[in-house]
Structure 1
Amino acid sequence: MSDYRKTPEALARLTPEQYHVTQESGTEHPFRNAFHDHKEAGLYVDIVSGEPLFTSLDKFDSGCGWPSFSRPVESNNVVEHRDTSHGMIRTEVRSGHGDSHLGHVFPDGPADRGGLRYCINSASLRFIPVAELEQEGYGDYRKLFDTDQ
């Protein structure tokens, strides 16, 4: 896969919560979402465009109630914007091609992993297990999970 974009068909497949989060910059409830404590190895992609965003290798438990990652798998697939909503100054992260709202990035992540915490809404993600990467068109990412390198 390499044609990552937002299409009317992709938007039509979203649940109301997925639409609210990705298209209206919403936020799902902490601790009550699909991936906050998900531990399976694999790739997390944008629910709308399919662009690769994060891997389970960079996921960690920050205790915040949302999935947290120390870095994106492809830096150009995650873009940052200043967010002054809700009386705060934060850094919003969006998918680079699909322009989906993903969540926010904070400078309080693990120091040994670069110090960043990408706090991401599960509703903006689709998870692809390692065993399904090839059939889903993400075979190039399989090598990241090989432990005999």
Structure 2
Amino acid sequence: MNEQKTGKTEEQWRASLTPEQFAICRCSATEPPFSGKWYRHKELGTYVCVACRTPLFSSETKYDSGSGWPSFFQPIKRGGINLVPDKTHGMHRTEVRCAECDSHLGHVFPDGPKPTGLRYCINSLALDFEPSKGL
């Protein structure tokens, strides 16, 4: 990971994340399907990067893809995420990373619903949630 971008060392990341979050965000691991806290979550609000709190996805773009991970059809803003070619495990995929802290979030696939046709398949452990504030 890019220490220059974040200013954090590996030791600092380990201290600020759980071992499971560190494995996903800093080492590009994946949580088991259907195991994540946010998979079936329905509350209105914003999903943020667990590592740096950058807003990433709105609950309004979340949908049940049946994949086993929280899925969204678009990020809050294009500049909030980076897309990186991923050729690991003999596959050709597109990795989704937080633009602010370079944390691994998940992958994006071209099999999502309209209007974008995209499925941002994101690890629950890479996310936190901020509920909408009531009026």
Q: TM-score under structure 2 normalisation?
A: 0.89
Which residue of 19, 43, 48 maps to 1:45? 48
Paired residues of 1:6 and 1:98 also in contact (CA < 8 A): no
Give structure 1 stretches of 5+ with no counterpart: 133-145
Equivalent residue of 2:84, what SS? Answer: strand
Give structure 2 stretches of 5+ with no counterpart: 1-5
Shift of 1:78: 0.6
Q: TM-score under structure 1 normalisation?
A: 0.81
Corresponding position of 2:87: 84
Q: Does 1:105 align with 2:112?
A: no
CA distance in 1, matches of 2:133, 2:110: 33
Taking only the aligned residue pairs, the percentage that are identical comes to 49
CA distance in 1, matches of 2:77, 2:13: 21
Paired residues of 1:104 and 1:120 also in contact (CA < 8 A): yes
Q: How many residues align?
A: 129
Shift of 1:131: 2.1
Q: 1:108 to 1:6 in 2, by over 3 A?
A: farther
Structure 1 stretches of at least 4 aligned residues deviating more than 6 Å after TM superposition: none
Which residue of 109, 113, 116 maps to 1:114? 116
Corresponding position of 2:70: 67
Equivalent residue of 1:57, what SS? Answer: helix
Q: 1:72 to 1:6 in 2, by over 3 A?
A: farther
CA distance in 2, matches of 1:84, 1:113: 27
Q: In the alignment, residue 34 of structure 2 is paired with which amino acid?
A: F
Q: Deviations over 1:90-134 (max 9, x none)?
A: 000100011000000000001x221000000001001000128xx
Q: 1:92 to 1:38 in 2, by over 3 A?
A: same
Paired residues of 2:13 and 2:22 also in contact (CA < 8 A): no
Equivalent residue of 1:63, what SS? Answer: coil
Which residue of 87, 94, 97 maps to 1:94? 97
Q: How does 1:13-52 map to 2 (within 5 A)?
A: 13-52=16-55
Shift of 1:36: 0.7
Aligned-CA RMSD value: 1.9
Corresponding position of 2:3: none
